[in-house]
Structure 1
Amino acid sequence: MTRKFFGTDGVRGTANRFPMTPELALRLGAAAGRYFRRDGSAAHRVVIGKDTRLSGYMFENALTAGFTSTGMNVLLLGPVPTPAVGLLTHSMRADVGVMISASHNPHQDNGIKFFGPDGFKLGDDAELEIEAILEGEVELAAAENIGRARRIDDGRARYLERVKSTFPSNKRLDGLKVVIDCANGAAYRAAPEVLWELGAEVIPIGVSPDGYNINDGCGSTNTAAAAAAVREHGADVGICLDGDADRVMILDETGAVADGDQIMALFSKRWADEGRLKGHTLVATVMSNLGLERHLAENQIVLLRTPVGDRYVVETMRRRGYNLGGEQSGHIVMTDYATTGDGLIAGLQFLAEMVRTEKPASALIRQFDRCPQMLRNVRFASGKEPLADGAVRRAISDAEGRLNGSGRLLIRKSGTEPLIRVMVESEDEALMAQAVENVVSALEAVR
């Protein structure tokens, strides 16, 4: 069965445009409430967090109405990182957790992500069942059984203590000057507080959210502002989070950037050396660079690839018993510490390695030489299916033939935006550029 509303990471779209309307959010809350109250018992609860988008207020209220209408009690966390919702769903013994966020997308977008009672994101089967309830007649609670809602004022503090507990107890960050870019998002208070409490000299940027400036010229998808701050202040390192703080990019003292692949390479080698890397395996997606795969093989570490999306990384890790994975985009999943990608915890683990080795960030951010890679995004109109076009399919087949043995081509439809992503890797950069151009041109002709 094809999912109608749920994409790679929950339901997402432009606020006040289908499917991200308050009406749908209300019905989605009611459907999820009914799904998690199938046994009919009382005392069911949901925790709801959000990032700093203006539309978060609207969706928070709509979801609250939907959940309470089916008898669920709602605990409102306010602005907290996505991983905090996973943590608190489990620790507060909730039946379901909800994060209202469109992650790294601009302010006009928003999304709704669900977590199960174990703190992990819901799987495809659960989402399909919620969709089926949503499209039917949702059974509402009797008037005397309507749920209650209350604010939880210390959710951020609970999360901070968990984050700090992942840093070595015998280490401090004294003497380190750290730029932290919070993308004007969910971690705008949490991240600087953690770093300061661990002893760092903190230079915060992207910590003045106004409802509109989330991810705007800052954060993990735009590291230029953080790089400038690192150089201006003579900082030792920069940490760039995205709007909901489940992604991270690391900057060295010159402003050079390490993406998720380089961070995973560092952590996997360290964990393998310490005997902590379960199965001697790193789980990453098809987007991770070929250079990472070669580097891991040289260190007798297996790279297991999944479809794009941190939820698929986590599902594979849980099913196979692995404890380290992530994405090139900066999701770093360490199930010893968290149920989902956590940019702040990943940043602390990098800082711990700086403290342990007494090496500068520049000596740690480049673990391997990247295979040359080109990525182009082609936006398409709603209702179009460019990948079904004959000319597009021929262009893809031709590119694959030309790259045979000298690189790889990956074409995928985004699960969160109306985009086709075209990625090519090859040591032959001229061949790579031509392959990308041919496929993109074919897509643009039918978009």
Structure 2
Amino acid sequence: MGRLFGTDGVRGLANGELLTPALALRVGEAAARVLLEDVDGRRPLAVIGRDGRASGEMLEGAVVAGLASAGADVIRVGMLPTPALAFLTSHFRADIGVMLSASHNPMPDNGIKIFARGGHKLPDEVESEIERLVLSDEPWDRPTGADVGRVTDHLEAEGAYADHLLVCTPAPLNGIKVVVDCAHGAASHVAPDVYRRAGAEVVVIGASPDGTNINDGVGSTHLDELRAAVREHGADLGIAHDGDADRCLAVDADGNDVDGDQILAICAIALREAGELRDNTVVATAMSNLGFHHAMREHGITVATTAVGDRYVLEKLRADSLSLGGEQSGHVVFLDSATTGDGLLTALQLMSRMAQTGKSLAELGRVVTRLPQVMINVPVTDRERAASARPVSEAVRRAEVELAGAGRILLRPSGTEQIVRVMVEAPTEDQAQNVAEKVAKVVQTAR
């Protein structure tokens, strides 16, 4: 068995070779043992939530059993977004939070995301210790009798999260008509409700989860239905969430995409004008388009760049006491209001900016002039080996020479799938496509 934890928890085919109920039980048990060591003699507490996948019910039972067997009381909050689970971990003053979700992945997949006290993601060293215990057979003193954890349901917890979001909304959304695509996922109830309470007129699609339809042709990875619905209903914009609603993408009134770089730029400028962008700095990843960097420079905002992955954005924000960061994929972190990327919070901030300025989303989005960008996902059998193969490195060097400083190439293994991503930006779409295809072909041969 390889490393369990990827860039966003343990993820894989639910009930497949890796992510079985037996493993889920051991992860819950090990996480409790590591994170509940310092509870000062009080009863430890855990909170667990899930998205709409059918396998979530099965895995929830296993993780709950593992947590309770380690002596933790467990609160089940049902189907809620990942950022809601992070918020509730802090709200309930819990020692550990567990979210069962594979985010934007197809329905057969699932995952286990773990949060520490305060709703923060785990440092690498804590994940490594949990993984060591999962894979170890070392004996330990299991609690018995009255020391075994108890399990309760708190299915009204959504209300506390919704109230929190509304407190963080800068301006009423009166006069804004929005179509929201919930990806048949965890935000199917709470997102439309919050947007209406904030004052928007809301049209809802992709909000009928049945256990098997999450991310199926809807959500942030499938924007066609959202584009069509925005045009059909004459909406001001469309908002697309993924299965666990930790990300937000948008389309304007004409159905044109507004990606995470544009959303991050819009929000950075808004926070700077409000005096809330600490150190006049925004955090972005190496995947952010060069056009984003140009836009921030023109507005006098510094960009701090991290490796790809929202966990690295979070680490930078916390290490440097900054307030805003995000990814092109739509993960945006408002650290003064949340401990992780929150798609609903992002959407509320974006629509508030529209309401405050009276500008359309298309007009706001034009702050970023994107260089043509092509991404090719190359399936491989060993993502790390393929990405580091000598022929691949040589192909990347040739591509850099061809781009001659007018663009860039980024090659990286996925953190959750056996895929190597080849991203190229260039002055023209044709050049970006041509360079990306040449490198992708070499990656295929190195799989």
Q: TM-score, normalised by structure 2?
A: 0.96
Partner of 1:150: 152
| Residue in 2 that maps onto 1:64 | 64
Q: Is the Cα–Cα contact under 8 Å of residues 35 and 116 in structure 2 kept in the other structure? A: no
SS of 1:269's equivalent in the other structure is: helix
Counterpart contact for 1:34–1:139, Cα < 8 Å: no
Q: Does the CA-based 8 Å contact 2:384-2:413 persist in structure 1?
A: no
SS of structure 1 residue aligned to 2:421: strand
Q: How many angstroms apart in 1 are the aligned matches of 2:327 and 2:359?
A: 25
Deviation at 1:432, TM superposition (A): 2.7
Matches within 5 A, 1:59-138: 59-136=59-136, 137=138
Q: Which position in structure 2 is the counterpart of 1:167?
A: 169
Q: Where does residue 14 of structure 1 map in the other structure?
A: 13
Report the aligned-residue RMSD: 1.7
Confirm whether residue 234 of structure 1 aligns to residue 208 of structure 2: no
| 1:265 Cα deviation after fit | 0.7
- Whichever residue aligns with residue 376 of structure 1, its letter is I
Give me the whole-angstrom Cα distance separating, in 1, the residues matched to 2:357 and 2:36.
50
How far apart are the structure 1 equivalents of 2:275 and 2:24?
45
Per-residue deviation, 1:359: 1.9
Unpaired runs of 5+ residues, structure 2, are: none
Which residue identity is paired with 2:307? P
Deviation at 1:142, TM superposition (A): 2.7
Native 8 Å contact 1:257 1:365 kept in 2 = no
The one-letter amino acid of 1:21's match is: T
Query: How big is the shift at 1:307?
Result: 0.8
- Residues 164, 194 of structure 1: 8 Å contact kept: yes
Shift of 1:366: 2.4
Please list, as runs of the form range in 1=range in 2, the aligned pairs for 1:294-309 lying within 5 A after superposition: 294-309=294-309
Query: Structure 1 residues 171-180 or 85-94, which shifts more?
Result: 171-180
Distance 1:26 1:392, change over 3 A: same
CA 1:261 to 1:382, structure 2 compared with 1: closer, same or farther past 3 Å?
same
Deviates more, 1:262-271 or 1:194-203: 194-203
Letter aligned with residue 19 of structure 1:
L
Q: Which amino acid aligns with 1:122?
A: L
Say if 1:383 and 1:139 are closer, same or farther in 2 by CA, change over 3 A.
farther
Aligned to 1:283: 283
Most deviating of 273-282 and 134-143: 134-143
- CA separation in 1, counterparts of 2:440 and 2:284? 25
Is the contact made by 1:84 and 1:159 (CA closer than 8 Å) also made in structure 2? Answer: yes
Contact 1:406 1:428 survives alignment (8 Å): no
Moved more, 393-402 or 341-350: 393-402
Whole-angstrom CA distance in 1 between matches of 2:301 and 2:120? 26
Provide the TM-score with structure 1 as the length reference: 0.96
Aligned residue for 1:364, secondary structure, equals helix
Q: How far did residue 256 of structure 1 move? A: 1.2
Given the alignment of the two structures, is residue 312 of structure 1 paired with residue 309 of structure 2, yes or no? no
Q: Secondary structure at the match of 1:204?
A: strand
How far apart, CA to CA, are the structure 1 residues paired with 2:317 and 2:14? Answer: 33
CA distance in 2, matches of 1:214, 1:428: 35
Residues 137-193 of structure 1 show CA distances to partners (whole Å, capped at 9, x for unaligned) of: 36252321111111112111111100111113xx43333221111110000000111
SS at match of 2:344: helix
Find the counterpart in structure 2 of residue 260 from structure 1.
260
Give CA deviations for 1:43-74 in whole Å, capped at 9, x if unaligned.
00110011000100011001011111111111
Q: Is the 8 A contact 1:183 1:215 kept in 2?
A: yes
Give the % identical residues.
46
Report if the CA contact (8 A) 2:383-2:413 is conserved. Answer: no
Asked if the contact 2:230/2:253 (under 8 Å) is kept, the reply is: yes
- Which stretch of the first structure deviates more once superposed, 48-57 or 274-283? 274-283
- The reply on whether 1:139 has 2:116 as its aligned counterpart is no
Amino acid at match of 1:393: S
Distance 1:429 1:227, change over 3 A: closer
1:382 Cα deviation after fit: 5.1
Stretch deviating more after TM superposition (397-406 or 344-353): 397-406
Q: CA deviation at 1:429?
A: 4.2
What is the CA-CA distance between 1:430 and the residue it aligns to? Answer: 4.3
**Residues 414 and 420 of structure 1 are in contact (CA less than 8 Å); yes or no, is this contact kept in structure 2?**
yes
Contact kept, 8 Å, 1:70 with 1:139, in 2: the verdict is no
- Which position in structure 1 is the counterpart of 2:370? 370
The residue identity in structure 2 corresponding to 1:332 is V
- Kept in 2, the 8 Å contact 1:260–1:332? The answer is yes
Please state whether the residue corresponding to 1:62 is helix, strand or coil.
helix
**What is the Cα deviation at residue 294 of structure 1?**
0.9
2:435 alignment counterpart: 435
Q: Which amino acid aligns with 1:142?
A: P
Q: Is this contact kept in 1: 2:186–2:243, CA < 8 A?
A: yes
The answer to whether the 8 Å contact 2:395/2:439 transfers is: yes
Counterpart of 1:108 in structure 2: which amino acid?
P
Is contact 2:374-2:423 (8 Å) kept? yes
* Structure 1 pair 404–158 and aligned structure 2 pair: CA distance change class (3 A): same
- Residue 407 of structure 1 deviates from its aligned partner by 1.6
The answer to whether 1:33 aligns with 2:32 is yes
Counterpart Cα distance in 1 of 2:252 and 2:215: 21
Query: Please, which runs of 5 or more residues in structure 1 have no aligned partner?
Result: none
Which residue identity does 2:169 align to in structure 1?
F
Mapped to 2, the partners of 1:423 and 1:310 lie a distance apart of 18
Which range moves more in the overlay, 377-386 or 141-150? 377-386
Question: How far is 1:39 from its partner?
Answer: 4.2
| Residue 361 (structure 1) shift | 2.3
Q: 1:140 to 1:49 in 2, by over 3 A?
A: farther
How far apart in 2 are the matches of 1:430 and 1:82?
A: 38
Displacement of 1:318 after TM fit?
0.5
Three-state SS of the structure 1 residue aligned to 2:287 is coil
Work out the number of aligned pairs and report it.
Answer: 444
Tell me the amino acid that sits aligned with residue 23 of structure 1: A
Cα distance change on mapping 1:60 and 1:254 into 2, 3 Å: same
Secondary structure of the corresponding residue to residue 163 of structure 1 = helix
1:430/1:225 CA distance change after superposition, 3 Å: closer
Conserved in 2, the CA contact under 8 Å of 1:45 and 1:74? yes
